[in-house]
Amino acid sequence: MLAKRIIPCLDVFNGKVVKGINFINLKEIGDPVEHGALYSQQGADELVYLDITATHEKRKLLSDLVRRIAENINIPFTVGGGVNQLSDADALLSAGADKISVNSAVLLNPSLIDQIAKSFGSQFLVVAIDAKNIDGRWVVYRNGGRIATDRELFEWAGEVVLRGAGEILFTSMDHDGVKNGYACKELAMLSDALPIPVIASGGAGAPEHFLEAFKTGKADAALAASVFHYNEIAIPELKEYLHQNNVTVRL
């Protein structure tokens, strides 16, 4: 059985790591390179860096930041934000990113998924899906959770798989930052329906929430931010807890 992955997420705004609740009320936390190096030392399996305003403000994530990250950590990391065309993906991968994450751009131009997968391989492509439950329907949002689309979570997830996505990063906007646990029901539905790994995002507040994401939600990886940023959960202790509860992790 493949080991379940623990993935700290570093939201980047103006070159600094930030964290908010329900995608708003951002608070500056620190330097993205220093945080990434620390998590690498603590035993994180991967990292995700998301420039959360790159698409909204029509900016690109600077390649020199990606190079600095690559020079200072020794675990795989994914970079997203402002990837609007094939050349953007090429620039980030060339700068040292192990994978790239796309979200808003592929909602506007789904064929970009096909282009990236064909050019670089599905294993390098993570499609992030931000969704909110509105009257029982999981509506997909773009531009950092600012703009609702006409796409629905499960049908959109199915389409991105067919187009060549290698992984799906599902963030429940309702759970994001409130630390009450992941959207395990929806995670399990995605995991059961899709042939590619599903990363859980949004809602981690205690070790039990990670356990639920893996056991009940059937997630392949669990992503979290504030519990790691504020030292509320230590990665080595979290992994030991999961191991003791029969979850396969890399210790």
Q: What is the set of active-site residues?
A: 11, 130
Around Cβ 120, how many Cβ atoms within 10 Å?
Answer: 18
Q: How far apart are CA 81 and CA 191, in angstroms?
A: 25
Beta carbons of 112 and 86 less than 8 angstroms apart: yes
Label each residue of 118-139 as H, E or C.
Answer: HHHCHHHEEEEEEEEEECCEEE
Length of the chain: 251
Core vs surface per residue 73-104: b (16+ CB within 10 A) or e = beeebbbbbbbbeeebbebbbebbbbbbbbbb
Q: How far apart are CA 193 and CA 208, in angstroms?
A: 24
Tokens 């103006």 belong to residue: 14
Distance of CA 240 to the CA centre of its chain: 23
Dmax (CA) of the chain? 46
Distance between terminal CA atoms of the chain? 15
Around Cβ 143, how many Cβ atoms within 10 Å?
Answer: 19
SS3 88: helix
